[in-house]
């Protein structure tokens, strides 16, 4: 398994698994399948450029050259927020789960983020019913600090969001 930063040439392939993740787990993400499936290759490249322009990145996990997992990192902007960043879009295809890929993606991201000198605090949010994802984040030393009631609404059903954070310095 190989983890690397995804560039513009690689983003359309990764987008394919992202669309699958959104279709199979609508309650796990803020983005919607209906939106993502309409995004063209050029638009996915534009989205990547926007993330990169503020110091963020997208990581992909690959097996035999094919994407099996992903996450993204956004560096918050503005003088008073630049010590913070957010991890999201963490997804591993069902066939590759249970082998440490999500954890390896997060560890690779934290290592990369550590080289951005300003960033000290990483945050993420997770559906409070998503026990698998919560287990992954706890295993990566993220600490839950608050539950937002009804923070996510999917097809008319409300879910609580658990906000988690970790200091990296």
List residues near ligand COA by CB under 6 A: 21, 25, 28, 90-92, 97-103, 126, 130, 132-133, 135-136, 139
DSSP-derived 3-state class of residue 89: strand
Pick between residue 48 and residue 164 the one whose CB is nearest to ligand COA.
Answer: 164
Distance CA 159, CA 5 (A): 31
CA atoms within 13 A on the CB side of 48: 23
Total residue length of the chain: 169
The 3-state secondary structure of 91-147 reads EECHHHCCCCHHHHHHHHHHHHHHCCCCCCEEEEEEECCCHHHHHHHHHCCCEEEEE
Query: What is the nearest approach in angstroms of ligand COA to the Cβ of residue 16?
Result: 15
Pick between residue 28 and residue 45 the one whose CB is nearest to ligand COA.
Answer: 28
Query: What is the nearest approach in angstroms of ligand COA to the Cβ of residue 85?
Result: 16
Query: What is the nearest approach in angstroms of ligand COA to the Cβ of residue 58?
Result: 15
Query: What is the nearest approach in angstroms of ligand COA to the Cβ of residue 29?
Result: 6
Distance CA 31, CA 26 (A): 8
Pick between residue 45 and residue 85 the one whose CB is nearest to ligand COA.
Answer: 85
Pick between residue 112 and residue 130 the one whose CB is nearest to ligand COA.
Answer: 130
Q: Which residues share a beta bridge with 143?
A: 165
């Amino acid at each position: 398994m190989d983890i690397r930063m995804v560039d513009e040439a690689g983003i359309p392939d990764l987008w394919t698994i992202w669309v699958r993740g959104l279709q199979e787990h609508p309650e796990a993400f803020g983005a919607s399948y209906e939106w993502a499936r309409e995004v063209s290759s050029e638009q996915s490249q534009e989205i990547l450029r926007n993330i990169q322009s503020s110091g963020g990145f997208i990581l992909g996990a690959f097996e035999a050259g094919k994407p099996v997992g992903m996450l993204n990192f956004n560096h918050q902007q503005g003088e008073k927020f630049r010590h913070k960043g957010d991890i999201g879009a963490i997804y591993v295809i069902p066939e590759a789960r249970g082998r440490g890929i999500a954890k390896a993606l997060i560890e690779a991201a934290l290592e990369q983020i550590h080289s951005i000198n300003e960033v000290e605090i990483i945050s993420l949010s997770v559906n409070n019913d998503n026990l698998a994802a919560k287990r992954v984040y706890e295993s990566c030393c993220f600490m839950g600090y608050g539950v937002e009631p009804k923070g996510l609404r999917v097809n008319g059903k409300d879910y609580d969001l658990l906000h988690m954070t970790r200091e990296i310095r």
